[in-house]
Amino acid sequence: MNRHVRVTDATLWGLVLGLIVAAGGIDPATVSAQRFWGDGATYYSMTWSLVADGDLRYEAKDVARVRREYPAGPQGILLKRSSGGLKWDSGAGFPWVRRVRADEKRVYFAKAAIYPLVAAPFVLALGSRGLMVCNAVLFGVALLLAFYDLKRSIAPWAALVVVLGLFAMTVTPVYIVWLAPEVFNFAVIVASLVALRRNRPVLSAVLLAAAIYSKPYNLWLAIPLGLIPFFEQERGLFLKRLAESARRGLVLAGATALLFGLNVAITGEINYQGGERKTWHGAQFPFEGRVTFGNSGEWMTANQPGPKAEGQREGVLGRVLGLVGMALAEDKDVQTGSAARELRPRWVLSEMTVSPEEIQQAFPRNAVYFWVGRFGGAALYFGPIVAALILFLARGPRDAVGWLALLALGVSYLFYIRMMPDNWYGGSGTIGNRYFTNLLPLVLLILPRGRELLAAIGGALIGGAFVVPLLASPMHYSLWLGHHALLPQYRIAPLDLTMLHDLSLIGEEPWRKKQPFGDVGEEGPHGRPPAPTAYYLYFPDDSTYFREVAHGGEGFWLRGGTEGEVILRTLGPVRNAKIRLLGGPEGDRVKVRVGARSTRLALTAAEERTLDFELGEGVLYHGDRLHVLRFSSSDGAIVNDPAPRRLGTFVRIALELAPSRDPVAR
């Protein structure tokens, strides 16, 4: 081994070991101010249940254990009640197990068990910080596997630069500090693809089965595994190639079935997220005092694997995708009962319906947002794979394996935006498109030979401006979800309007979301309909001071010296918006843009002007229409009321009804 090889190997090993040591110094409860986010409460509780009790059953001692480090309890925990699983019974005779009867239902954690199983030894040895160490080890293993694989075809120093550029210069390392399986899925898929490149298809299939069990929509990543035999010249006759493809498929299916079979044995149900399933946010949890599973929590459902249009029957596709579709329940749950309409979304996993027009309109928008959207765009959060795709398509060289990987990426892409049109990026508790962490490893197969360095460096340049702040402060942006989208570089990207209520910033901070203006009525089967000119506003940035009452009316102040957006959600057939501007304490210079039309004007102190804008069709969203209003305030005055604020212009909006023939409908 020459000196350059030793140096590059030692450099990467040093970086990985340093990452693991740094992760070992992180106590999750301390750095998070004893808060859970995302699905952390469920995975934390599951792992500790395996370590302390050796099971995945939720009991009173589980919530008591959580409160030792998180006094507020497992906020956001997901549980399900089920029967039919196996239980130990010393009186049942050999092998001293029996099934749980229907009248003795148990409560289980409603998530896939494989990540907690992998993390349990680390937690047993290191306590809760073992979860961070586990994630760091998994990420380090992925880097090492990719490095040694790349080193077979390019120089060691180049392999080091490429692997760091491809994986480290994305949002993926941020998930090391998350109590969630994103890094696990990423590492397992990297290992599977490296095994495939090393011509070890059985190992590749088994590893991919683990990823499919964790996230069933990873099924599409099996496309290269199953189809590569048809492109290998040495395979000989077509029947021989078909037999090899079938062998790989059987191994994958068998390993996947075994993992889901374990779920059946434990809980009695194949779907770890279906059936009687609930989530909890509050002061008490099941088995504390008089609280039970039945008299608390918020019901969740997981029945429909994709969007269901009005009058549409389930059909063959819905049944075929049932197993894959159940994964969608993880992040687009449907709350029943007295919850508001937006907590009972109508796109995914619900018996509720949407219009075919809404489904049709969302698809082309999502096709763009998936790559360049402010909250989920792959170019912003996974620049290297976008650079590799551009090079592969524009310059090559291209081979069959690369085309198959591209096919897997394309099918996954279409699946996400078609089956999860208002939540294809992972729900409000995410940074970037966390589902894309499962697709990122495909870059190992797509990289054009001889241009690996160009792809890695180009990707780092594309995505570096976006992800470097996240990598520098991963815990800050994890605790304050969506705040990265307030950075200037993110605000140049379009807002992902089709996922409005699930955008992390809007979903996490209620004062930004669905602020009512006028009589918006009451929702529900016996609710009062809204006034025709009522509307909601959303505030996706800090260019305003949000909804307030001033100068005798409801509106919002523009923050002086800033520019940004406000989302108008109209509830009826509306034609025009009258935007009334009232100059601040020292006047202001204002620019207002609605659609393609923009207007600039200067206001003196307390001067009032009204602008009339035609709204157009807007974006159909849950039966209503969304319109993006852009404001720019150049001046403003500092006012203490009571905290210092730089007030530019006060804005009020009044809507003018469209003629009855207008096709817009609530």
- Give the CATH number of the domain where residue 604 resides: 2.60.120
- 151, 408 in Cβ contact below 8 A? no
In terms of Cα–Cα distance, which of 268, 277, 338, 342 is closest to 303? 277
Confirm if 221 and 408 have CB atoms less than 8 A apart: yes
**Number of helical H runs and strand E runs in the chain:** 22, 20
For residue 568, is it within any domain?
yes
Q: What is the mean pLDDT of residues 302-327?
A: 46
> Per the domain annotation, does 283 fall within a domain?
no
SS3 category, 548:
strand
List the one residue out of 427, 454, 456, 429 whose CA is nearest residue 440. Answer: 456
pLDDT at res. 440: 96
For residue 345, whether the previous peptide bond is cis, meaning omega lies within 30 degrees of 0, is: no
In a domain, 67, yes or no: no
DSSP per-residue codes, 292-336: -STTSSEEEE---SS--BTT---HHHHHHTHHHHGGGGGTS-EE-
pTM of the complete model beyond 0.85 = yes
**Does 286 reside within a domain?**
no
- pLDDT at site 524: 67
Q: Tell me, what's the pLDDT at 339?
A: 33
Q: Tens digit of pLDDT for each residue in 180-195? A: 999 999 999 999 999 9
Write out the two tokens for 480: 């304050």
Look at residue 87 in the predicted model and tell me its pLDDT.
Answer: 76
For the record, the structure tokens of 48 come out as 């500790």
Q: Contact, 110 vs 37, CB < 8 A?
A: no
Q: What percent of the chain has pLDDT over 90?
A: 68
- pLDDT at position 234 over 60: yes
- Domain assignment present for residue 422? The answer is no
Q: In the numeric block, which tokens belong to residue 261?
A: 């079979």
Asked whether 486 and 512 are in contact (CB, 8 A), the reply is: no
Phi, psi at 270, each rounded to 5°? -75, -30
Amino acid code (one letter) for 471: L
Q: What is the mean pLDDT of the chain?
A: 87
Choice among 205-209, 341-345, 376-380 with the minimum mean pLDDT? 341-345
Closest among 440, 383, 509 to 182, alpha carbons compared: 440
What pLDDT digit, counting tens, does each position of 212-223 carry? 999 999 999 999
- Which residues, at least 6 apart from 128, have a Cβ–Cβ distance to it below 8 Å? 27, 28, 29, 44, 48, 69
526 has pLDDT over 90: no
Q: How many domains does the chain have?
A: 1
Residue 201 reports pLDDT greater than 50: yes
Domain-located, residue 269: no
The predicted pLDDT at position 93 comes to 66
Amino acid at 342: E
Dihedral sign from CA coordinates of 164, 170, 175, 177: positive
Residue predicted with more confidence, 563 or 521 = 563
Per-residue pLDDT band at 433 (split at 50, 70, 90)? very high
The two structure tokens encoding residue 539: 């505030």
Closest to 15 (Cα-Cα) out of 117, 108, 140, 99:
140
| Domain presence at residue 158 | no
**Using one digit for the tens of pLDDT, what is the confidence trace for 26-83?**
999 999 999 998 899 999 999 999 999 999 999 999 999 999 999 999 999 999 998 8
- Cβ(581)–Cβ(553) below 8 Å: no
What tens digit of pLDDT does each residue of 464-495 get? 889 999 999 999 999 999 999 999 999 999 99
551 in any annotated domain: yes
Residue 564 belongs to domain spanning = 511-657
Higher pLDDT, 528 or 527: 528
| DSSP code per residue over 335-356 | E-SS--GGGS-SSSSSS--B-H
Q: Which two tokens stand for residue 606?
A: 């307390």
